[in-house]
Structure formats: C-alpha cells, structure tokens
C-alpha cells in the first residue's frame, strides 16, 4: 500500500510556512501534494496564511481581512525563519497555482462565508480557471464551508478536519457528503480507521512529524500523511518499503 504525502504548509520544517519557497521545496522533495490555508483580504483576494492575523508569521499586525492585498504584499513572511528567507512574501492562491502547477492540493478554508463572504465560490472559480478540479481537495473544520463547497460542486473532493473520535463525526461527514475523514493523528486508532473504511470514507491524518508516527501510520493503513517535515516522511516510507 502506498501512502500519499502532503507537505503541511509546504515544507514548513525547513522553509517559511505557507510561502512559495516552502511549497516549491516540498514539490522538489517529491511530495504528492501540498497543504495550505486560505483567507480573504479586505479587497477579496485569496490569501495563503494559517492564522487569521498577520502577527505570528510576518512583520505585520492585525486581522488579514482588514488589510488590502497591496498592504499584505509589503510584509516580510520569511525573516522569522532566518535571514536566508528575508523578503519572502505572502502569496495569493493564484500565485501558488501559477508557481506549482499540476501538483495535488489540500486547500483548507479557515472560515466560511459567514466570516469571508463568498470565499468558497472564489476558490472554486480559481480551481476551475486553472483546470485543477482533479488535483484539489477542499478541507475544513468549518461545517458551513464544506456544505457550501458541496452545494457549488457535487464532484470536487472534500475532507472533514476534526479532533476526536471518528465515530463522533461520522454522521456529520455523511451529511456534508465528504470523501475523506481527516483526524488529528495523535487521537487516531485502529477502530477509527475501521469505522471510516466501513462507511467507504478515506482516512487522511495530520500532522505527522516523527519517524515513530510515520511507522504507526503505516501499520494503521492511513491513506495520506500531512507533515511539516515531508523530507523525513518520504525517507522513512522509502526505508520501510524495503
């Protein structure tokens, strides 16, 4: 059985998370896909960043949706990772697609249209523009986001992110018509895998950053691994395949 490897925010262990250099490094390492987080700016551009605020990963401050793209583009998203990365900019989703092309993508919607009006439609419009329908999976903790995506597109792959027992979220997953359960790996056990598979749902776990967890994921027959350290994961999978 092969396990697909996704770079969490790119190759965040080695490069500034959720930036073009991070995604490019993950692709160079040979990942199946990359995971990223989406918000919208004040002028409705799709911004790739994990937090809803600028503070942690840039030299800016405040909520993303209160800043225009022009303001966000002036920020440094790399210097906190080291001088090597100084001057790295916050990317838009369009820029990620332009730079990475036909790799696979986990696109995590951090907040639904209740917070970011029309974000689901904006994402799907861009996915369709770049003809990436077969390369994209929309994921979220936000039930409304997943419902909105499914209402827009009945065929796009979706995944429900959650922390806890799979059984607790099974009915919700069915109602939202998702394709994959995406649990926190440290709370995932054999019975979680069995109940998902019994209901014809894949299991894609996050975030797996140690050799021991990779080996446990192999034993559990996880479908995909999302990791901040894809270099280590790929090496471990290759070594254990022999």
Which residues lie below 8 Å from residue 239, measured CB to CB, with a gap of 6+?
none
Share of residues in the chain with pLDDT > 70 (%): 99
| Confidence category of residue 1, pLDDT binned at 50, 70, 90 | low
What does the alpha-carbon distance between residue 139 and residue 35 come to, in Å, rounded to a whole number? 9
For domain 4-240, the CATH architecture is Alpha-Beta Barrel (3.20)
Catalytic: which of 8, 39, 67, 104? 8
Residues 116-149: pLDDT tens digits?
Answer: 999 999 999 999 999 999 999 999 999 999 999 9
Please determine, for residue 71, whether its predicted confidence score (pLDDT) is greater than 90: yes
Please determine, for residue 203, whether its predicted confidence score (pLDDT) is greater than 70: yes
Has this prediction a pTM greater than 0.75? yes
Provide mean pLDDT across the span 213-227: 97
Catalytic: which of 39, 50, 67, 104? 50
Please determine, for residue 242, whether its predicted confidence score (pLDDT) is greater than 90: no
Angstrom CA distances, 168 to 20, 78, 110, stand at 36, 39, 21
Specify the pLDDT at position 241. 84
| Confidence category of residue 23, pLDDT binned at 50, 70, 90 | very high
| Confidence category of residue 179, pLDDT binned at 50, 70, 90 | very high
| Confidence category of residue 19, pLDDT binned at 50, 70, 90 | very high
Is 50 an active-site residue?
Answer: yes
CA geometry: angle at 105 spanning 89 and 42, to 5°? 45
What does the alpha-carbon distance between residue 20 and residue 165 come to, in Å, rounded to a whole number? 34
What does the alpha-carbon distance between residue 64 and residue 34 come to, in Å, rounded to a whole number? 22
Is 65 an active-site residue?
Answer: no
Sketch the domain layout of the chain as residue ranges: 4-240
What does the alpha-carbon distance between residue 227 and residue 206 come to, in Å, rounded to a whole number? 7
- Identify the residue whose tokens are 């809803």: 52
């Amino acid at each position: 059985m092969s396990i697909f490897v996704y770079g969490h925010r790119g190759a965040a262990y080695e490069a500034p998370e959720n930036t073009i250099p991070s995604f490019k490094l993950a692709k160079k390492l040979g990942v199946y896909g990359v995971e990223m987080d989406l918000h919208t700016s004040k002028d409705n551009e799709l911004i790739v960043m994990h937090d809803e605020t600028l503070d942690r990963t840039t030299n800016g401050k405040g909520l993303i949706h209160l800043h225009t793209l022009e303001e966000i583009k002036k920020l440094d998203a790399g210097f906190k990772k080291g001088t090597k990365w100084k001057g790295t900019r916050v990317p838009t989703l369009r820029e990620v697609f332009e730079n990475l092309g036909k790799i696979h993508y986990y696109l995590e919607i951090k907040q639904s249209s209740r917070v970011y009006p029309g974000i689901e439609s904006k994402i799907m419009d861009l996915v369709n523009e770049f003809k990436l329908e077969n390369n994209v999976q929309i994921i979220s903790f936000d039930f409304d986001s997943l419902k909105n995506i499914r209402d827009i597109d009945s065929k796009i792959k979706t995944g429900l992110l959650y922390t806890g027992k799979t059984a607790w979220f099974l009915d919700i997953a069915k109602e939202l018509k998702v394709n994959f359960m995406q649990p926190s790996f440290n709370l995932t056990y054999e019975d979680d895998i069995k109940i998902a598979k019994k209901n014809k749902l894949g299991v894609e776990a996050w975030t797996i950053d140690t050799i021991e967890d990779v080996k446990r994921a192999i034993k559990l027959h996880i479908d995909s691994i999302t990791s901040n350290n894809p270099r280590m994961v790929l090496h471990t999978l290759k070594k254990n395949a022999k």
